[in-house]
Amino acid sequence: MSRVQIYRPILTEKTLQEDYDVQRETQEYDWQFIKTKVNGYVRSKVDDPGGTAKRFFLSLFPIITWLRKYPIKEWLVSDLISGFTIGVMQIPQGMSYSLLAGQHPIHGLYNAFFPAIVYSILGTSRHVSMGAFAITSLMMGAAVTPLYPDPIRSTNETDDEFQAAWDAVYDVRIQYSVATLLIIGVFLLGLSLFNLGSIIMYLSDPMISGFTCGSAVHVFVSQLKDLFGVSVGSYSGVLAIVWIIRDVITELTTLDAAGRTKTAATVVISVICCVFLLIVKEINERFKKKLPLGIPIPGELVVVVVGTGVSYGFGFYDLYGVSIVGSIPVGIPAPKPPDANLLGSVVATAIPIAIVGYSVAVSVAKIFGMNFGYKIKPNQELVAYGVSNTVGSFFSCVPAFPSMSRSCVQVDSGGKTQLVGLISAAVILLVLLVLGPLFEDMPKACLAAIIAVAIKGMLRKARDFLPLWRIDKLDGAVWMVACIATILLDVVYGLLTGIAFNFLCVVFRTQFIKSETVTRINGTEIYRKSEKTSSQSDIAVIAFRGPLHYVNKDRLRRRLIKETQIDPALEKAKKKKKKKKQKRTQVEDNSTDSPSVSKREDDFSFSSEVDAKYKDNFKCNDNPTYQNDVIYEEIPNNHHTFEDTSEEDNHVYTISGDMEDPPIVKGPGVTAVVLDCSQISFMDSVGVKFLKKAFEDYKELGIDMMLSNVGDEAMSKLHSGGFIEKFGYDLIYLSSYDAVLDYFRPSVIEETKF
């Protein structure tokens, strides 16, 4: 094993700064600091206004940067293929997710057009597919459906009257939806103005994973009515999923002859579509490298086209009463502002959707960015999603965010840049202008099957729980709470519960900080908690494993009391009581014991507990009065070595030569404490105040305290909190080993004649 031998003096913060000209950064965040920073920022912009404007414009429109450097020969064909694939996939997914949001399927196609174009211009991710997203669509549907329930067909109602009732419901719901989109867009743009793109850091991966899995359960349950062809009530809030399942079971057990015919036909369509889609997905996953040009089989498009054709050819709606999409308008809607009267009522719905959509989207974008070697700009993503939803609110869209499943298909099909989004939008435009009416006879069961199979990946998030639980119990608990709360309390309440519990776990981690006594590993200067260590009973080295603040300072206080066996508050009370008693009795101590002489004026007398290793190194005469006196002489250059020599006449002892451990003369208890601050990332004012108080109290009780391994941030707080002014840098050491050696370092003391 390689060895290292270092010769250097013992270093405190004072000697480090004086001898080596090393200065700690102790920045005060006062008004002058803020003023200097603001002036510097403004000056950098004013001095070069042209460059500032250019950089702002290029950062706001990333398409200018990547389009100028676009390698046409290498990437164009791949982007064309991927764009056509995503465009084809957007047709069934957009229509399906629009139904999931409680809207007419056509609004999902609008989503695949307007927001996709905007994101391609403003977005920084090359591989996400903008449009409708299952979770945000579900959240939108959970909010809007209870307010404007599905129409229930009466026995005397004609098909045209029932369709008119649905159209009236859709017209009202879309007004609520576009108002929500406007608030989503404004909220995200507001976050971007304050450069809060890093808001995603407050939503941990375990929380997002648990929430996604719970949301997938909601998505699946919400499609049961279309998979079975039954009618259920509109529910939201606590236990809504239970009431939906109850209604489905009730409907299935109380069907009449016409209902059984409709349900049987719908179930057959659903099963065929689901089995087909599962087989196609398995083929795409296993043989994607062997497929022509790497393009996956468009199973969803096949389901839509074949399902529509068969439904039209055999008259499923007329013969069996199977629910179909119905009328699909042709063309692009004219821009129309949202109803201002609805804006105030949708804030509670819009903000959770915005946070969830942005968090999941940026998480996916960052994964692709790391895999393909480019950076995502979270703040610019806020701008892209904000503008996309704001524009979408004027064109009858549902909440627009990237879909995880489509994004994976975009990567697998060879997409290279945001050009894929523009090409897919062109495919959607063709559908809106020409092909839309062809899908009017598509069974809703086909769309429900597409959604049910598409959330397969989201349901797989359940496999994240066991690895999280094995690694960290709190992370596993966060996953479980977020998932169960989302399932039972509904999506919005589940999200809020998951976030709250996640923050509570952060508090747990910062409050219940571990503190432990560490000792030196034999033959090294390293201090760890280990059995193979060199232990000194009269000095304790305490390692505090986290930030020191008002929440956890008492844990450090309890550790100090445990190691020193002294509670300063109680000792002070005892001293006061003793002084009062002494004043009353006026008894003087006539003890004839002579004080020991040492560097710190402590009693270093040998006791019966002294190790034989050190006891044998010292010779004392037979005079019982001075038998325990030890006088040290300093070794030059602080090499900390020893050998046995003595002068019995005047009791002067010289210690030199190599030594493994400091020459420790053990006393009856702890006489010094070293606090290892290597893992104290920061201190607040309460933490600094606690340290000042502890140093004062233990010094009064004859116990020295020292700090070691203090970082810059903690040092800054010690400086601004008055600790340095009061105690100086002499009690702050570069390492715990420096502190221990300096405490036991032999010092030159005048020869004493006895």
| Residue ranges covered by each domain of the chain | 14-20+513-581+596-754, 21-63, 71-153+161-463
- Residue 599 in tokens: 């560097």
Q: With 50 as the cut, is the pLDDT of residue 585 above it?
A: yes
Instruction: Transcribe 536-554 into DSSP letters.
Output: -TTEEEEEE-S-B-TTTHH
Taking the C-alpha atoms of residue 403 and residue 129, their distance in angstroms, rounded to an integer, is: 6
Instruction: Transcribe 260-304 into DSSP letters.
Output: HHHHHHHHHHHHHHHHHHHHHHHHHHHSTTTSGGGPPP-HHHHHH
Per-residue confidence (pLDDT) for residue 401, from 0 to 100: 94
Mean pLDDT of 596-608: 39
Greater confidence (657 vs 43) lies with: 43
Give SS3 for 158.
coil
Percent share of the chain, pLDDT over 70 = 84
Instruction: Specify whether the CB–CB gap between 95 and 316 falls below 8 A.
Output: no
Q: With 60 as the cut, is the pLDDT of residue 178 above it?
A: yes
Taking the C-alpha atoms of residue 631 and residue 596, their distance in angstroms, rounded to an integer, is: 9
Mean pLDDT of 258-262: 90
Confidence class for position 536, pLDDT limits 50, 70, 90: low
Mean pLDDT of 208-228: 89
Weakest mean pLDDT among 26-35, 156-165, 605-614: 605-614
Per-residue confidence (pLDDT) for residue 617, from 0 to 100: 39
Greater confidence (198 vs 517) lies with: 517
Confidence class for position 438, pLDDT limits 50, 70, 90: confident
Per-residue confidence (pLDDT) for residue 520, from 0 to 100: 85
Give SS3 for 639.
coil
Confidence class for position 24, pLDDT limits 50, 70, 90: low
Confidence class for position 381, pLDDT limits 50, 70, 90: very high
Mean pLDDT of 451-459: 83
Q: With 70 as the cut, is the pLDDT of residue 476 above it?
A: yes
Instruction: Specify whether the CB–CB gap between 293 and 352 falls below 8 A.
Output: no
Instruction: Indicate the average pLDDT of the chain.
Output: 81
Instruction: Specify whether the CB–CB gap between 63 and 422 falls below 8 A.
Output: no
Taking the C-alpha atoms of residue 443 and residue 312, their distance in angstroms, rounded to an integer, is: 9
Confidence class for position 392, pLDDT limits 50, 70, 90: very high
- Residue 19 in tokens: 């001898």
Element at 704 (helix H, strand E):
strand 704-708
Confidence class for position 749, pLDDT limits 50, 70, 90: very low
Instruction: Specify whether the CB–CB gap between 543 and 678 falls below 8 A.
Output: yes
Closest by CA position to 234, among listed 316, 165, 151: 151
Per-residue confidence (pLDDT) for residue 391, from 0 to 100: 96
Confidence class for position 185, pLDDT limits 50, 70, 90: very high
DSSP H helices, 525-611, are: 553-564, 568-585
Taking the C-alpha atoms of residue 537 and residue 546, their distance in angstroms, rounded to an integer, is: 25
Per-residue confidence (pLDDT) for residue 346, from 0 to 100: 92
Taking the C-alpha atoms of residue 413 and residue 79, their distance in angstroms, rounded to an integer, is: 9
Q: What is the 3-state secondary structure (H, E, C) of 658-691?
A: ECCCCCCCCCCCCCEEEEECCCCCCECHHHHHHH
Per-residue confidence (pLDDT) for residue 534, from 0 to 100: 53
Q: With 50 as the cut, is the pLDDT of residue 358 above it?
A: yes
Per-residue confidence (pLDDT) for residue 616, from 0 to 100: 41
Per-residue confidence (pLDDT) for residue 530, from 0 to 100: 67
Weakest mean pLDDT among 282-286, 358-362, 601-605: 601-605
Instruction: Specify whether the CB–CB gap between 104 and 386 falls below 8 A.
Output: no
Per-residue confidence (pLDDT) for residue 654, from 0 to 100: 35
CA distances (Å), origin 200, targets 197, 204, 357, 499, 520: 7, 8, 11, 11, 42
Taking the C-alpha atoms of residue 379 and residue 200, their distance in angstroms, rounded to an integer, is: 11
Confidence class for position 587, pLDDT limits 50, 70, 90: low
Per-residue confidence (pLDDT) for residue 612, from 0 to 100: 40
Beta partners for residue 676, in sequence order? 543, 708
Which residues, 6+ apart, have CB-to-CB distance to 710 below 8 Å?
13, 677, 680, 718, 732
Per-residue confidence (pLDDT) for residue 89, from 0 to 100: 80
Per-residue confidence (pLDDT) for residue 604, from 0 to 100: 36
Long-range Cβ pairs for the range 461-470 (8 Å, 24+) = 461/209, 461/210, 461/212, 461/213, 461/216, 462/213, 464/206, 464/209, 464/210, 464/213, 465/210, 468/206, 468/209
Instruction: Give 518's DSSP letter.
Output: E
Half-sphere exposure of 613 (CA within 13 A, CB side): 10
Per-residue confidence (pLDDT) for residue 85, from 0 to 100: 80
Per-residue confidence (pLDDT) for residue 194, from 0 to 100: 85
Weakest mean pLDDT among 55-69, 190-204, 519-533, 739-753: 739-753
Per-residue confidence (pLDDT) for residue 264, from 0 to 100: 94
Mean pLDDT of 365-378: 87
Instruction: Specify whether the CB–CB gap between 392 and 115 falls below 8 A.
Output: yes
Closest by CA position to 143, among listed 2, 352, 302: 352
Greater confidence (632 vs 529) lies with: 529
Taking the C-alpha atoms of residue 740 and residue 733, their distance in angstroms, rounded to an integer, is: 9
Element at 655 (helix H, strand E):
strand 652-655
Taking the C-alpha atoms of residue 677 and residue 4, their distance in angstroms, rounded to an integer, is: 25
- Residue 744 in tokens: 């036991």
Instruction: Specify whether the CB–CB gap between 123 and 381 falls below 8 A.
Output: yes
Summarised one tens digit per residue, pLDDT across range 97-115 is 898 898 998 999 999 999 9
Per-residue confidence (pLDDT) for residue 690, from 0 to 100: 94
Greater confidence (337 vs 11) lies with: 337
Per-residue confidence (pLDDT) for residue 421, from 0 to 100: 94
Closest by CA position to 308, among listed 132, 95, 81, 111: 95
Mean pLDDT of 629-642: 36
Taking the C-alpha atoms of residue 322 and residue 261, their distance in angstroms, rounded to an integer, is: 9
Superfamily of chain region 14-20+513-581+596-754: STAS domain (3.30.750.24)
Per-residue confidence (pLDDT) for residue 294, from 0 to 100: 63
Half-sphere exposure of 586 (CA within 13 A, CB side): 0
Taking the C-alpha atoms of residue 220 and residue 248, their distance in angstroms, rounded to an integer, is: 13
Taking the C-alpha atoms of residue 199 and residue 212, their distance in angstroms, rounded to an integer, is: 18
Q: With 80 as the cut, is the pLDDT of residue 633 above it?
A: no
Beta partners for residue 539, in sequence order? 672
Highest-scoring range by mean pLDDT, 584-588, 625-629, 745-749 = 584-588
Element at 717 (helix H, strand E):
helix 712-720
Greater confidence (539 vs 479) lies with: 479
Confidence class for position 394, pLDDT limits 50, 70, 90: very high
Beta partners for residue 324, in sequence order? 443
Taking the C-alpha atoms of residue 367 and residue 376, their distance in angstroms, rounded to an integer, is: 10
CA 137 from centroid of its chain's CA atoms? 24
